Chains A and B, each alone.
Chain A
Amino acid sequence: MTDNRETKTSVALIDDHEMFRDGLTRILNDNGYDVTGAVSHLPTSTTLV
C-alpha cells in the first residue's frame, strides 16, 4: 500500500512480542502513520509520542 496522507499521525506501539511489534510497525509506517516508538513495556510517561 502507498501512503497518501499529507500529515502523519504519530503512534507509539507497546507489545511484548517482538515479531508482532516489528511487523505492525512496518504496516503502520507503510500506511500513513509515523511509529515514533515500539517497546515491550508500558512507558512511565507519554514521551514515546
Chain B
Amino acid sequence: MLIDIALRDRWTSGSDVARLTDGGSRVVVLTGFASHDRIDELILAGALSVISKEVSTSDLLATLDDALSNDFDITPLIASALASSPNPQLIELSPQEARVLALYGSGMKLVAVAHHLGISVNTVKEYLRRVRRKLAEIDRPATTQLDLNREARRHGVLPD
C-alpha cells in the first residue's frame, strides 16, 4: 500500500501501519510535510520506506521497486529522521497546521498561503494562532515570521 502520511483530518499513525502490515500488506508512506518523529514512528511500525512527494517520478518508482523487493532503501527523509535526536520541546501539529507552518515559515505571505491551500486568509490566521498558542505553552513564543521559520525547521516541516 502507498499511503499519504497526512490525510485530510489526521496523520497516518504507527498503529495504522502496524494494523496493515499485520494484515499482510507491505506499506510505503508518501509525505509532503511531516516531522522526523512521525517518519521515525512509521518506520518503527513496519513501513518499508518513506518517500517524499517532491522526488522525481523515476526516483519514486526506483524507491518503490527497492522497498517492495525488500532491498531496504535509506531515503534522505529516513536518514534525516534517524539522525535527529529526540527533542521533548516539540508541539503536536495537525496536518493542516504543519502545512500552514511550513508555507508561512518559508516566507510566503498570508494571502499566498491561503491561495496555495485553498482556504481563507482568516483560516490561515486561525491555524497560525493555534500553532503560536501551542508554542507559547512550551515557553517558545513565536511572534514573528522569522520565529515561525525557526520553529518550522526545528519541527522538521521545513528543511534545515
Contacts and interface: CB of A to CB of B under 8 A. Distances in A.
B53 interface: yes
Contacts of B64: 33
Interface residues of A, number: 20
A14 B1 contact: yes
B2 A12 contact: yes
Interface residues of B, number: 19
B61 interface: yes
B16 A42 contact: yes
A14 B68 contact: no
29 contacts: A9-B68, A11-B1, A11-B2, A12-B1, A12-B2, A12-B25, A13-B2, A14-B2, A14-B3, A15-B3, A15-B7, A16-B4, A16-B7, A16-B8, A17-B4, A20-B4, A20-B53, A27-B57, A27-B61, A31-B61, A41-B7, A42-B3, A42-B12, A42-B16, A45-B23, A46-B20, A46-B24, A46-B25, A49-B25
A18 B129 CA distance: 29
B13 to A, nearest CB: 9
Interface of A: 9, 11-17, 20, 24, 27, 31, 33, 40-42, 45-46, 48-49
Nearest to A9: B68
B90 interface: no
B30 interface: yes
A24 B79 CA distance: 25
Contacts of A46: 1, 20, 23-25
Contacts of B4: 14-17, 20
A24 B16 contact: no
Contact of A48 (B1, B8, B61): B1
